[in-house]
Amino acid sequence: MRVTNTSIYRNFTFTANDLHSKLIKSFSKIGGNSKKYESAAENPLAYYEGLNMDTHFQDLESKVSLIKDVKHRMYQQELGARAIQSALTGDKGSKFQIEKALNATSDHTSTLSAVRDELTQSQHEIVNALNVQYQNIYVFGGNDSSQAPFYLSEDGKTLTYRHLFPGDKTTTDITMTLTKQTDGSYEYVIDDIDSVVKAMTEQGVMDLGYGYIGDRDSLIDTYTGGLNVLTGITSKTARDMISLGKTDDLKALIQERMNGSAIALTGQAAFAVQDYIDNPTQDGLNTMNKVLGDTLSEIDASSIRLGTIYEELGIKYSRLDDTHTRLLSVQDSLTEAYADKLGADPYEAIMEMVSNQYSYNAALQVGSKLMETSLFDFMR
């Protein structure tokens, strides 16, 4: 009859399971886990230092991922500003068409009709550039990036800015209509200048690893609204003027800059040409030439403002690019420090695994003997 002892079997089972657990952990140190300590009890100081490193690493990883996204959006904004400038002063752009109209000496009607059509097309190209997207984001939408911000009537006369302000439940539509003046020129009549001011002060300041989070002005503003692009007035400039009590001056400046914007100058030229086509008299020709000449003189200033916008975007992009590189370097340093502090030494891990493997195999042999014979025979 086999003699057994329940407590011996119980103790053996506990010991075997413990050895098996140590063997699995030693295997994991050689594999992808590579952690020296599994719990704080093994080395509290090193363990919690490792936790702090891990928290810092996760924050860096989040910033690195976010910077990539913001850089792509800023790049699209820069391309959009360049496209508007190209529609204004590039080959076959508005400036070229105006010069063509001014230099037309024969067959006025045919030439001017083609010029008018090209100018209207340039207006729509400008709006398309203002509605550029990155993934599902309208990059010139400011705080409202989910819907196209600009709409232009087919004839190019009415520009609508559509925006959902933070906290509002309904979208605000701001209409700007090119209206003929007594001298034959055209200016925008803006139906809600207060909402324009509100939209142009929106910012998207983000903590991306550049600047000091306690100083808002040192952080990068990742938003550039379409109205800011058209006027060349940054959100910071608008906010500064308001803080100085110059809100009325800001409104006047916005009105002036909108009338001198790429889309307004292009539209004014198109309608001046159309007015002459409708009234082909000497007075009509004189008025058209005067309006086109004035428009031409303003185009370069508008183009310079656009150039300043995309240069500022380029500077922001460069700062983010440098920050991205720096954060990746810090990540690498943290990874090395983490490995030094908590990572398992490969040689020690292999030796530990061999030792645990030997101990576990020995335990299995003991277990086999326990099952094959009586306790007294085994212990003899």
Question: Tokens 């400046």 identify what position?
Answer: 253
Number of other residues whose CB lies within 10 A of the CB of residue 98: 25
Distances (CA, A) of 145 to 70, 85, 139, 210: 13, 22, 6, 23
Distances (CA, A) of 41 to 21, 22, 44, 47, 52: 17, 15, 6, 8, 17
- pLDDT tens digits for range 3-13: 455 666 666 66
User: pTM for the complete prediction?
Assistant: 0.74
% of the chain surpassing 70 pLDDT: 65
Distances (CA, A) of 85 to 73, 351, 358: 19, 68, 75
In this structure, of 105-114, 179-188, 350-359, the range with the lowest mean pLDDT score is 350-359
Both structure tokens of 254: 């916005």
In this structure, of 68-72, 169-173, 287-291, the range with the lowest mean pLDDT score is 68-72
The answer to whether residue 214 scores a pLDDT higher than 90 is no
Adjacent-strand bridge partners of 354: none
The answer to whether residue 59 scores a pLDDT higher than 70 is no
Output the pLDDT for position 346: 47
Query: Could you tell me where the DSSP H helices lie in the chain?
Result: 6-30, 44-89, 94-102, 108-130, 193-200, 226-231, 235-243, 247-259, 262-278, 282-342, 346-372, 375-379
CA nearest 254: which of 233, 271, 236, 234? Answer: 233
Domain residue limits, the chain: 1-34+358-380, 58-331
The answer to whether residue 378 scores a pLDDT higher than 60 is no
Please state, rounded to an integer, the average pLDDT across all residues of the chain: 80
User: What is the rounded (10 degree) CA torsion for 256, 243, 203, 236?
Assistant: 60
Long-range (24+ apart) CB contacts under 8 A made by 346-352 are: 346/30, 349/26, 349/29, 349/30, 349/34, 350/30, 352/26, 352/29
Alpha-carbon distance of 209 to 207, in angstroms, equals: 6
Output the pLDDT for position 143: 85
Quick one: angle between helices 247-259 and 235-243, nearest 10? 150
CA nearest 226: which of 309, 308, 295? Answer: 309
Q: What's the full length of the chain, in residues? A: 380
CA nearest 75: which of 306, 315, 302? Answer: 315
Region 84-112 average pLDDT: 89
Output the pLDDT for position 247: 97
What φ, ψ does residue 210 adopt, rounded to 5°?
A: -110, 135
In this structure, of 41-55, 60-74, 236-250, the range with the lowest mean pLDDT score is 41-55
Identify each DSSP E strand in 164-241 by its residue range: 172-180, 186-190, 205-206, 220-221
Q: Kindly state the helix (H) or strand (E) to which residue 261 belongs, with its residue range.
A: none
In this structure, of 99-113, 132-146, 166-180, 247-261, the range with the lowest mean pLDDT score is 99-113
Q: Are 156 and 124 in contact (CB under 8 A)?
A: yes
Alpha-carbon distance of 83 to 129, in angstroms, equals: 6
DSSP category for residue 75: H
Q: What angle do CA 345, 351, 352 make, to 5 degrees?
A: 85
CATH of 58-331, one of 2.40.50.420, 3.40.50.10470, 3.30.930.10, 1.20.1330.10: 1.20.1330.10
Both structure tokens of 274: 């159309």
Alpha-carbon distance of 164 to 143, in angstroms, equals: 8
Amino acid at the residue 243:
S
